Amino acid sequence: MPQSVAEKLIESHLVEGEMRAGREIGLRIDQTLTQDATGTLVMLEFQAMGLPRVKTELSAQYVDHNLLQEDFRNPDDHLFLQSAAKKYGVHFSPAGNGVSHPVHMERFGIPGRTLLGSDSHTCAAGSLGMLAIGAGGLEVAMAMAGEPFYVRMPRIRGIRLTGELPDWVSAKDVILEVLRRYDVDGGKGWILEFHGPGLESLTAMDRHVIANMGMETGATATVFPSDAQTRRFLEQQQRGDDWRELKADEGAGYDDEVEIDLSRLEPLIAKPSSPGNVVPVREAAGEPVYQSYVGSSANPGLRDFGIVGRIVSGRRIAEGVSFDVNPTSRQILENMIKLGTLAELVRAGARLHQTGCNGCIGMGQAPATGRNSLRTVPRNFPGRSGTEEDAVFLCSPETAAAAALTGVITDPRELDMDYPRFREPREIDIVDLIVRPAEKAEDVALQKGPNIADLPEFEPLAERFEGPVLLKTGDDVSTDEILPGGAQVMPLRSNIPEISRFAFSRLDKSFHDRAMEYQNSGSFVVGGENYGQGSSREHAAIAPAYLGVKAVLAKSFARIHWQNLVNFGVVPLEFAEAADYDRVREGDELVMEDLGQGIDEASVTVRNRTRDETYTLTHSLSRRQIDILREGSLINWIRRRKAA
C-alpha cells in the first residue's frame, strides 16, 4: 500500500501496537529535547531511575525560558541542568544560545528521525521530515531511559498546498488559515501532513513556522516531506550529509484531505485571546497598537527578521509603540549583524532583547494594561503575556512591521511601498555554543541549589473518593491558566510545593488555600471541552495532584495534559452526557465508589450528594494507562516494573 510521510515515520519506529487509528502504539524515540522550564524535573526524574547515561541516539537540553536572573533560583537551576547534562550524556545549550526549536533544527534535526520534547512546540521539527511530538517531562525522561513513547495512533489529515504566496503574505498566514478552519481543537487526534506543489516555494524555515503552530489546533504532530528545500537548509547549516529524501508514495491516501491555494491567501491575524480567533487583518485594521513584537519559536528564521528590517529600513516607528525584537538563536543574531538587518531594526527604533523565549511565555516584555500587543508568537491565551488583562494578537512579521510603523493594526498591503523581498544567503556564519557531555559520568557531580526540591510521593489509586468541586471551568482552559508561566512563577519549576501556590490563580486566586483544606481527603475539578490545551508543562498536573485533586471531570481533554494527569495519578474522566456538566456546580460534594472496577469497565458513577443526582463518566484509557493510575503515578509504575 502507498504510504504517506507520517505513516513511513511511524512504521519505521513502531515497537508496540498496530497502526490503526485510535489504538495505543509504542514508538522508538531517536532524539529528545528538553528546555529549562521543564528540564529540571526531567533530570530529577531521570536521576530517580538510577541510569548512568541516556539511551537515545541524541538528547539535548536547552536554557531558553527562565533567562531572567532576578535572584539565585534561575542561575542555580541552569548550573544543575548543565551538570546533569554532562553526567547523563546530554548536549547542553546555555542561556543566550537561543530558543530550543530553531537551535535544534540548526544543529541536530535529521529527516526520518523521531523527536520527543518536553515542550509542546517540539512539533516544529516536523519541518525537516521528522516525527516530532510534544509530551510531558516524565514521558521524555522515559524516552531518555530507552523506553517507548506511547500515544494513540492518530488519523492523518493531508493538507495539499498549491500556488505561491502573494506579496505581503507569508508562512504565518498559512498556519493562521489552518487555525481559521479548524480552531484550537480541530486537530485533536490528527497528524497534519503538508504536501503538494505549493511546498516548492516554502523554505525549511517557512515550514518551521507552520509546523510549530500545528500544535495550536491540538494536532499530535505536523509533518513535511524531506526534499530539495530540506537539503538546501541542511547544506546551509553545513550538515548536508544528514539529508535524506523522504516523501509520500505516489497514490498515498489520507484519512481526510483539504487544499489551500497559497495564491488566494491574504494577511490574517488571531484576535485575543485564542490562536483560533482568526480574521483578515483588514477586519481588525485601525485598532491602536502599544507593542509590536517580532521573534519567538513561531517565527524564528533569519528571513522573519530580515523582511521586517527591510520594511522599516530608513523609517522610524510610530510614537508610543514598543517595537520588540527577539532574536531566536545566537547564530541568527550574528547573521543579522553581518547582513545589516540588526542595524536597520535598531535605527528604526527597535528594542533588542536577548536570544530566548522571553515575552512569549511572560518572561518580561509584558504589555501595558488595556493596550494591544501584536506578536509573532504562537499563543495568545489570557494572561500569558504577563499582563492580567492583556490583548494579544498573533500575526506575521509583515503585519507586525506595518503596525510598528503606523501605530495601528494595518494590512501590510496598504503600506506605501513595494514589497521588499528578503532571500536568505546560501552560506551563513555558523555559531555553535553547544556543550558536549562528559565522556565519564562518574567524574561529574550534580549541582543542586536550594531551590530544587524532591518530587512528592504519589499514593496508589483508592477505591473511593469524596470531596468538593473546588473549581468549575469553561471550554478551552489552557495550562497557562491551570499553572501560569511568567517571571513570578517559572523560577519555581523545580519546587512543587511553592509553585503549587499559583495553581488556577488566573481563574481563582483563592484556589490554593481552599485546596489545602482538602489536601489529604481529596477534591475535584470540573472542566469543559478541550481542557488543558496548550503548553506541555506537567506542573499543571503535578500541582493539582499535590494539592489533593483526585479527579478532573471534563467534557473532553487536550492530548498532552490528559496523559500528564494520568502520569501523576489524577483520574481524567469525561461526562457521558454533556448535560451533566451543566448540572454540577462549584462547591457540590461528590462521591466516587468502586473506582477500580469503574475504571476497568470505562464507566464510573459519580454521586452528587449536594443535589442528590448521579452522573456517568467514561474514559478512553488504555490498559497501560489504567495500570499507571492504579499505581498512583508513572514513576511508581516504573519502579514496580524495575523491581519485578
pLDDT tens-place string over residues 346-398 = 999 999 999 999 889 888 889 999 999 999 999 999 989 889 889 999 999 99
Distance in angstroms (rounded) separating the CA atoms of residues 644 and 641: 5
pLDDT at site 643: 76
pLDDT at site 564: 95
The pLDDT of 69-79, averaged and rounded, is: 88
pLDDT digits (tens, 9 = 90+) for 158-181: 999 999 999 999 999 999 999 999
The pLDDT of 626-635, averaged and rounded, is: 93
List the grid coordinates of 567. Answer: 502520569
Residue 455 pLDDT class (50, 70, 90 cuts): confident
What structural domains and CATH numbers belong to the chain?
5-264 (3.30.499.10), 268-409 (3.30.499.10), 465-643 (3.20.19.10)
Is-contact 629 615, C-beta < 8 A? no
Residue 442 has pLDDT above 80, yes or no: no
pLDDT digits (tens, 9 = 90+) for 384-404: 988 988 999 999 999 999 999
**Contacting residues for 375 by C-beta, under 8 A, at least 6 apart:** 291, 293, 296, 359, 360, 385, 392, 393, 394, 395, 400
pLDDT at site 363: 84
pLDDT digits (tens, 9 = 90+) for 558-595: 999 999 999 999 999 999 999 999 999 999 999 999 99
pLDDT digits (tens, 9 = 90+) for 97-140: 999 999 999 999 999 999 999 999 999 999 999 999 999 999 99
pLDDT at site 398: 98
pLDDT at site 73: 85
The pLDDT of 543-554, averaged and rounded, is: 96
Within a 10 A sphere around the Cβ of 413, how many other Cβ atoms?
A: 17
**Percent of the chain, pLDDT > 90?**
85
pLDDT at site 322: 97
Is-contact 398 307, C-beta < 8 A? yes
Residue 446 pLDDT class (50, 70, 90 cuts): confident
Distance in angstroms (rounded) separating the CA atoms of residues 82 and 85: 5
Residue 530 pLDDT class (50, 70, 90 cuts): very high
Residue 408 pLDDT class (50, 70, 90 cuts): very high
Residue 639 has pLDDT above 90, yes or no: no
Q: Which phi and psi (to 5°) does residue 24 adopt?
A: -75, 135
Q: Which amino acid would we find at residue 54?
A: V
Residue 325 has pLDDT above 90, yes or no: yes
Q: Which phi and psi (to 5°) does residue 284 adopt?
A: -105, 0
Distance in angstroms (rounded) separating the CA atoms of residues 523 and 605: 16
pLDDT at site 448: 87
pLDDT digits (tens, 9 = 90+) for 216-234: 999 999 999 999 999 999 9
The pLDDT of 416-443, averaged and rounded, is: 90
Query: Which of 64-78, 83-97, 408-422, 583-597 is least confident?
Result: 64-78
pLDDT at site 308: 98
Residue 343 has pLDDT above 80, yes or no: yes
Is-contact 10 131, C-beta < 8 A? yes
Higher pLDDT, 488 or 200: 200
pLDDT at site 536: 87
pLDDT at site 488: 83
The pLDDT of 328-341, averaged and rounded, is: 96
pLDDT at site 107: 97
Residue 51 has pLDDT above 90, yes or no: no
List the grid coordinates of 211. Answer: 509546523
Distance in angstroms (rounded) separating the CA atoms of residues 17 and 8: 15
| Beta strands across the sheet bearing 155-162 | 221-223, 190-195, 155-162, 256-261
Whole-number average pLDDT of the chain: 94
Residue 614 pLDDT class (50, 70, 90 cuts): very high
Residue 511 has pLDDT above 80, yes or no: yes
Residue 546 has pLDDT above 90, yes or no: yes
pLDDT at site 24: 96
pLDDT at site 72: 86
Higher pLDDT, 381 or 156: 156
**By C-alpha distance, which of 318, 22, 311 is closest to 151?**
22
Residue 548 pLDDT class (50, 70, 90 cuts): very high
Distance in angstroms (rounded) separating the CA atoms of residues 132 and 23: 19
